[in-house]
Amino acid sequence: MATATEQWVLVEMVQALYEAPAYHLILEGILILWIIRLLFSKTYKLQERSDLTVKEKEELIEEWQPEPLVPPVPKDHPALNYNIVSGPPSHKIVVNGKECINFASFNFLGLLDNPRVKAAALASLKKYGVGTCGPRGFYGTFDVHLDLEDRLAKFMKTEEAIIYSYGFATIASAIPAYSKRGDIVFVDRAACFAIQKGLQASRSDIKLFKHNDMADLERLLKEQEIEDQKNPRKARVTRRFIVVEGLYMNTGTICPLPELIDDIDLISANMENALASIGGFCCGRSFVIDHQRLSGQGYCFSASLPPLLAAAAIEALNIMEENPGIFAVLKEKCRQIHKALQGISGLKVVGESFSPAFHLQLEESTRSREQDVRLLQEIVDQCMNKNIALTQARYLEKEEKCLPPPSIRVVVTVEQTEEELERAASTIKEVAQVVLL
């Protein structure tokens, strides 16, 4: 039955075709041809792409001149003529051929030339060779690494620790492992460059609060709370972090920890200073630290710490645990030199009295930073001539977020005797008077 109706409809259509007027058919024909043409023609392109001919393009390529890869560097830039140390950078250091007392390397506990540390490193060298030839995931985990992580966790009284093979990379990999785009991080203005790079890599929102100013931090937190209430859905997925330094390298001050919080989630530290080794570690609860084993970039994608350096760090920890008295000694020495350096005309001491690394800044700075730097360098050079090795604190001026003023950094170590400390203080006083008059 269906086919009959179909056929009948078809017959009707054909009849209609015969009966239609000519102009109607012609119009329909033209419309059909037009549709077919539109269907098969190319899509309309934006005007600009078809504007340049091949010849013009070749000319553009010929004419283009990029900047040079690196801009020229003036030959007398201090970084090109840096101090060359011959021999070990220990208490008596030979800088540029002159033997001086070292007030510049961060050798706080004097472990850089401790024979026990060297012996431990040597034993490890004999057993393992030097390199590890692989990241932690691919046969780069040695039993010394596991030992060191255990010892560090016990020493810091936390559940777990994870070690990195480079101090800078420790905090710079730890921060982006937790904080992602859209999270908020409250950080102190005087945070060091490594923290700044970690924050930059994490692409989170950064809110700076004034250095060691808890009231400012509280104000920012309250503002954030108001923001959250406006947009509760977003607030539920935004994580918030606070990043502070224990002892700020840029100012020598300590963060007011008790006011800040009651428990710390993650502690990150550097083994390159007191522990006389290389690398860094993070410690905290397992819940927090374990995440870095798969998402800490400096951990997963980089070769592990050479075992001899790990063994040196373990031995340094042993020494620290065996004589806890050295910390008190160090504190005493810091206090002594801090007091001795007060009252120098033209220089002020910046930093806590028990901080082993503090800064000497110009009391009245001249207008230009370059001039300040040159004055301070003069002081450093003359002290070097009198056998006291000092250094200016170096920064990358264009890259720092909050550039600290130029200063001389003085480091106190356990190995400096009281007499040497006195001598250093008086030398700096004399030189400052001569230069800054």
Partner 1 sequence: MANPGGGTVCNGKLHNHKKQSNGSQRRNCTKNGIVKEAQQNGKPHFYDKLIVESFEEAPLHVVVFTYMAYGIGTLFGYLRDFLRNWGIEKCNAAVERKEQKDFVPLYQDFENFYTRNLYMRIRDNWNRPICSAPGPLFDVMERVSDDYNWTFRFTGRIIKDVINMGSYNFLGLADKYDESMKTIKDVLEVYGTGVASTRHEMGTLDKHKELEDLVAKFLNVEAAMVFGMGFATNSMNIPALVGKGCLILSDELNHTSLVLGARLSGATIRVFKHNNTQSLEKLLRDAVIYGQPRTRRAWKKILILVEGTYSMEGSIVHLPQILALKKKYKAYLYIDEAHSIGAVGPTGRGVTEFFGLDPHEVDVLMGTFTKSFGASGGYIAGRKDLVDYLRVHSHSAVYATSMSPPIAEQIIRSLKFIMGLDGTTQGLQRVQQLAKNTRYFRQRLQEMGFIIYGNENASVVPLLLYMPGKVAAFARHMLQEKKIGVVVVGFPATPLAEARARFCVSASHTREMLDTVLEALDETGDLLRLKYSRHKKSARPELYDETSFELED
**In the window 272-311, what residues touch partner 1 (CB under 8 A)?**
272-273, 275-278, 285-288, 290-291, 293-294, 297-298, 301-303, 305-306, 308-309
Does residue 258 touch partner 1 according to CB under 8 A?
A: no
Q: Which residue in the set 17, 34, 134, 227 belongs to the binding site for partner 1 (CB under 8 A)?
A: 134
Tokens representing residue 180 in the block: 């992602």
Site for partner 1 in 404-433 (CB under 8 A): 409
User: Judged by CB, which is closer to partner 1: 155, or 301?
Assistant: 301
Adjacency order of strands within the sheet including 98-102: 92-95, 98-102, 388-389
- State which amino acid sits at residue 73: V
Burial track 267-286 (b if 16+ CB lie within 10 A, e otherwise): ebbbbbbbbbbbbbbbbbee
Distance in angstroms (rounded) separating the CA atoms of residues 48 and 296: 45
Tokens representing residue 206 in the block: 């950064």
User: Judged by CB, which is closer to partner 1: 212, or 391?
Assistant: 391
User: Judged by CB, which is closer to partner 1: 197, or 338?
Assistant: 197
**Site pattern 67..106 for partner 1 (x: CB under 8 A):** x-xxxxx---xxxx-xxxxxxxxx--x-x------x-xxx
Cα angle value 348/354/360 (rounded, 5°): 20
Instruction: Please report where in the chains the tokens 């001149």 appear, as a residue.
Output: 65
Residue 248 CB neighbour total at 10 angstroms: 23
- For residue 174, the minimal CB distance to partner 1 (Å) is 13
Is the CB of residue 187 less than 8 Å from the CB of residue 195? yes
Does residue 182 touch partner 1 according to CB under 8 A?
A: no
Distance in angstroms (rounded) separating the CA atoms of residues 134 and 127: 17
Does residue 402 touch partner 1 according to CB under 8 A?
A: no
Does residue 54 touch partner 1 according to CB under 8 A?
A: no
Closest C-alpha to 209, from 240, 223, 188, 183: 188
User: Judged by CB, which is closer to partner 1: 78, or 246?
Assistant: 78
- State which amino acid sits at residue 285: R
- For residue 436, the minimal CB distance to partner 1 (Å) is 22
Site for partner 1 in 358-397 (CB under 8 A): 389, 391-396
Does residue 194 touch partner 1 according to CB under 8 A?
A: yes
Does residue 137 touch partner 1 according to CB under 8 A?
A: yes
- For residue 177, the minimal CB distance to partner 1 (Å) is 10
Binding region for partner 1 (CB under 8 A) out of 27-35, 119-127, 367-375, 420-428: 119-127
Q: Which residues pair with 266 in a beta bridge?
A: 284
Does residue 10 touch partner 1 according to CB under 8 A?
A: no
Q: Which residues contact 112 (CB under 8 A, 6 or more apart)?
A: 88, 89, 90, 105, 276
- For residue 169, the minimal CB distance to partner 1 (Å) is 5
User: Judged by CB, which is closer to partner 1: 140, or 346?
Assistant: 140
Does residue 168 touch partner 1 according to CB under 8 A?
A: yes
Q: Which residue in the set 45, 55, 126, 230 belongs to the binding site for partner 1 (CB under 8 A)?
A: 126
- For residue 298, the minimal CB distance to partner 1 (Å) is 6
Sign of CA dihedral 128, 132, 138, 144: positive
User: Judged by CB, which is closer to partner 1: 25, or 370?
Assistant: 370
- For residue 100, the minimal CB distance to partner 1 (Å) is 10
User: Judged by CB, which is closer to partner 1: 193, or 354?
Assistant: 193
Count of residues engaged in binding partner 1, rule: CB under 8 A: 114
Binding region for partner 1 (CB under 8 A) out of 1-9, 36-44, 139-147, 361-369: 139-147
Q: Which residue in the set 149, 174, 187, 197 belongs to the binding site for partner 1 (CB under 8 A)?
A: 197
Distance in angstroms (rounded) separating the CA atoms of residues 143 and 278: 18
**Coil, helix or strand at residue 210:** coil
Does residue 327 touch partner 1 according to CB under 8 A?
A: no
Residue 329 CB neighbour total at 10 angstroms: 12
Does residue 261 touch partner 1 according to CB under 8 A?
A: no
User: Judged by CB, which is closer to partner 1: 357, or 432?
Assistant: 357
Does residue 260 touch partner 1 according to CB under 8 A?
A: no
Tokens representing residue 19 in the block: 């009966």
Residue 214 CB neighbour total at 10 angstroms: 13
Site for partner 1 in 215-244 (CB under 8 A): 235-240
What are the Cα distances from residue 140, in Å, to 36, 147, 165, 182, 387?
A: 67, 14, 12, 34, 44
Cα angle value 236/267/296 (rounded, 5°): 70
